Each structure stands twice: as structure tokens, then as C-alpha cells.
Amino acid sequence: MPSMELPAAVQEKLIELADENSQLKVEVQRLSAKLSSRDEILNELEEENLQLRNKLKHGQAGDPKLEALQRKIVSLEATIEEKTLSSCRMAEQIKALTASLNSANSEISELRKVDSGGIPEETILLEPSNNVDLERVQEERDDAVFELQRATHRIAALEAEKNDYADRAEAASTEARDMARHNKDLREQLHELEAEVAASRTNTGIASRGNSMFAEFAEERLKLEDDLKELYHKYNALRKENSQLANELDEARLLALRRGRREETHRCRCQQLSAELVELRGRVRTLDDRLAIARNDLIDKSIKSSGIDALLKSSYKSVKLEMESLRLERNQLRDERDELFDKNASLNAQTPAERQARSTESFNSRMPAPPSKTPLNVPCGTPIHEDQQRS
């Protein structure tokens, strides 16, 4: 009594569903680990906020600059709390998605057990006296075929639900990356505010030492500080543009992954540019550190020296040269962004026809064969046809 085997297409589809479910489980675990790391970063940021608040309490109470900085710090803390709440919500959504995936896996395993159980089919030798048994066996076989088709449709529905969960998980991971990037920017702003508080204290100490020669030097120093502030604002604009470019590259990468999910990932141009963007971000951070060091050196020189010297001018020129190099890098990034936009536009122009062709091919491959009813008026004494047994 050989057991009835599943079609090869159904077995392959079950194997693919099991592999994709395992991959989704690994992805959910990775996202939960990332969220835990983001929570640790937020805790460190809150500790730094407490330290900065304690430092501000010991500062001058009547300074308007300090009051403005305190208000800005309060607003940043509120923003951090909002981002923390959104991170918690994302963690809950990931847990819900994990539960849904587990339920889908359990349903698939139950369907596989039902399908693998099979219905025993006896080898029937038709004789003139057993027409009733022949009709009964044929009806049982037809029922088994219909049950198999119903299980196939159920598997297709579960696959569609799994794809929906995968898209939602990708959207959740993208939002988590955006939140992490925003938290990093907030941390950098807090460090900048701390540096500005230290600089304001130093400036108030310097202004109390006024004399005629030092007043002239203080005017020149104020001009240099204005120039440095202008350079700093330009640097902030460049950093925002770089972050915007990074976001656009992430969106383009997400679109490329959704468009060709089974293609090789190393062929994507976005991944080739990601390493270059990481290197450029590192260079921008080093330039930020060098600008801060140059500013502190200018303040120290203004305290120690009694007039304008050649070192101050040379350091100012070096800062200008660094800003020129930064502008050149910004122009290069803009050119790369324009090229990427052109490629993305060409891909978007080609995607509708290709997507329609792929959807029709996948739909035709997933459509099960129509149920073949075995005629009941088979003449007695003839065996059942081989292709009917396969159906």
C-alpha cells in the first residue's frame, strides 16, 4: 500500500517557506539586538545630560547665553524621550511580528503533516463484479486531490501573509536605523553645547581683563570668532547635506532590495557607495575635531599673547584651506548624488514592465493544475491510467 506523494512543486514551495521563515527569525533576533544596543546608547546619553545639567547649575545664573543653552538642552531632552518611546513601540511591533511568524510556521507545519500523511491507495484490479468498489475508490481519490488543492491554496495564502510580515519588518528596521541616526546627531549637539558653555565662560573671563592694547586685540579676536562661526555654520550645512545623502542612499538601497529580493546583494551600486560614505563621514568628523582644536588654540593664544602674531594668522589660513577642501568634497558628493538619482530614475522607468512580467510569471508558476475528475464509466477489466494516478 504505497502512500500518496505530494507534487514536486508543493514540496519545493514548503522547503522555500521553511527557509524564508528561518531567515525572518534571524532577522527579528538581529533587530532586537540592535534595539537593545540603541537603548544602551540612550542610557549613556541620559547620563551625559545629567552631567551637563550639573555643570550648568554651577555656572553663572544671570548669563543669557547659558539660559538659552539650558532651554535648548531641555528641548533636546524632550526629543530624546519621544525617540525612546518610539523605540519601545518598535520593540513591541517586532514582538508582534515574531508571534505572527511563529503562528504562520505552526500552520505550515500542520499543513505539511496533513499533506505528508497521504491517503493509502491500493492497487486495484478491475473485475466485472467490483464496479461499486471502483466508484468508491475513485471518489476517495477525487476527495484527496481536492484536499491537496485546498492545502496548496492555503500555503499560497500563508506565503502572501509572510511576505507582508517581511515588508513590515523591513520598514521597522529602516525606522530603527533613522532613530539611531537621529539619536547620534542629538548626542553630537549636546557635545557642541558643552563646548560652547566652556567657551562662554572663557570669554567672560577674558573680557574682565580689558585694557587699551588688549581691547584692540579683542576686536580682532571677535572678528576671527565670527569667521569661525560662519565656517562652523557652513560645516553644519555640509553635515546636514551628508546626512540627507545617506538617507537617500538608504531609501535607494531599500527600493533595490524590494525590486530584486532574490538577486545577489553585492551587485547593488548602493552597497559599493556605502563604504565610501562611511569613509567620508569619518573624514568630516576628523575635520570637526580639528576645527574645535583650532578654536581652542585661538582662545588660548588670545589669553597668552598681547597682540596679533603670525601664528594666529597662519592657523586662520589653515582653517580656511580645510574648509575649501571640505567644499570640494561636498561638490564631489553632490555629483555622486546626481549620478545616483539618474540611475534611480532609469530603474524606476524600467520597473513597471519588468514587475508586471515577473508578477505574471510568478502567478502562472503558483497556479495549481485544475482537478482532473476520473470518469466513472470506465469499462470493467481495464487498469487505471498512470497520469491519473500522478494527479
Q: What pLDDT, in 10s, does the model give residues 80-105?
A: 777 667 667 766 766 666 666 667 66
Residue 71 lies in a domain: yes
Q: Answer yes or no: do 76 and 194 share one domain.
A: yes
Q: How confident is the model at residue 56 (pLDDT cuts 50, 70, 90)?
A: low
Q: Answer yes or no: do 195 and 243 share one domain.
A: no
Residue 62 lies in a domain: yes
Which of 120-129, 234-243, 254-263 comes out lowest in average pLDDT?
A: 120-129
Which of 92-101, 336-345, 348-357, 364-373 comes out lowest in average pLDDT?
A: 364-373
| Per-residue confidence (pLDDT) for residue 373, from 0 to 100 | 40
Mean pLDDT of 318-330: 79
| Per-residue confidence (pLDDT) for residue 288, from 0 to 100 | 73
Among 255, 253, 260, smallest CA distance to 358 is for 260
Residue 26 lies in a domain: yes
102 close to 165: Cβ distance less than 8 angstroms:
no
How many angstroms separate the CA atoms of 360 and 356, rounded? 6
pLDDT at 211 > cutoff 60: no
Most confident of 169-178, 230-239, 262-271: 230-239
Mean pLDDT of 214-220: 66
Q: Between 273 and 325, whose confidence is greater?
A: 325
Q: Answer yes or no: do 102 and 224 share one domain.
A: no
Percent of the chain past pLDDT 90, that is, above it, reads 0
Q: Answer yes or no: do 113 and 229 share one domain.
A: no
Q: Answer yes or no: do 265 and 198 share one domain.
A: no
How many angstroms separate the CA atoms of 31 and 37, rounded? 10
Q: Answer yes or no: do 221 and 158 share one domain.
A: no
| Per-residue confidence (pLDDT) for residue 261, from 0 to 100 | 57
Q: Answer yes or no: do 57 and 165 share one domain.
A: yes
| Per-residue confidence (pLDDT) for residue 353, from 0 to 100 | 57
How many angstroms separate the CA atoms of 227 and 221, rounded? 10
Most confident of 50-54, 78-82, 117-121, 266-270: 50-54
Residue 70 lies in a domain: yes
Mean pLDDT of 134-149: 69
Q: Answer yes or no: do 48 and 104 share one domain.
A: yes
Q: How confident is the model at residue 128 (pLDDT cuts 50, 70, 90)?
A: very low
Most confident of 8-22, 54-68, 268-282, 349-363: 8-22
Residue 257 lies in a domain: yes
* Among 181, 208, 235, residue at a domain's last position: 208
Mean pLDDT of the chain: 67
3-state secondary structure of 337: helix
Radius of gyration of the chain (CA): 35
| Per-residue confidence (pLDDT) for residue 21, from 0 to 100 | 77
| Per-residue confidence (pLDDT) for residue 205, from 0 to 100 | 54
Q: What pLDDT, in 10s, does the model give residues 363-386?
A: 455 444 444 444 333 333 444 343
pLDDT at 63 > cutoff 50: yes
| Per-residue confidence (pLDDT) for residue 189, from 0 to 100 | 81
Which of 250-254, 297-301, 326-330 comes out lowest in average pLDDT?
A: 297-301
pLDDT at 47 > cutoff 80: yes
Mean pLDDT of 277-289: 74
| Per-residue confidence (pLDDT) for residue 250, from 0 to 100 | 78
Q: How confident is the model at residue 192 (pLDDT cuts 50, 70, 90)?
A: confident
* Among 208, 226, 241, residue at a domain's last position: 208
Residue 382 lies in a domain: no
H-helix segments, the chain: 8-57, 64-117, 131-207, 212-259, 269-304, 310-366, 386-390
pLDDT at 127 > cutoff 50: no
Mean pLDDT of 18-23: 78
Mean pLDDT of 326-333: 80
pLDDT at 339 > cutoff 70: yes
Q: Answer yes or no: do 190 and 254 share one domain.
A: no
Burial string for 316-340 (b: 16+ CB within 10 Å, else e) reads beebeebbeebeebbeebeebbeeb
Residue 109 lies in a domain: yes
Q: Answer yes or no: do 228 and 204 share one domain.
A: no
Q: Answer yes or no: do 152 and 272 share one domain.
A: no
pTM: 0.23
* Among 208, 229, 253, residue at a domain's last position: 208
Q: What pLDDT, in 10s, does the model give residues 145-181?
A: 676 677 667 777 776 766 676 676 676 667 767 777 8
Tell me the three cell numbers of residue 389. 494516478
Count of structural domains, the chain: 2
Q: Answer yes or no: do 230 and 190 share one domain.
A: no
Burial string for 19-32 (b: 16+ CB within 10 Å, else e) reads eebeebeebbeebe
Q: Which domain holds residue 292?
A: 214-371
Q: Between 340 and 212, whose confidence is greater?
A: 340
Residue 178 lies in a domain: yes
pLDDT at 2 > cutoff 70: no
How many angstroms separate the CA atoms of 74 and 53, rounded? 10
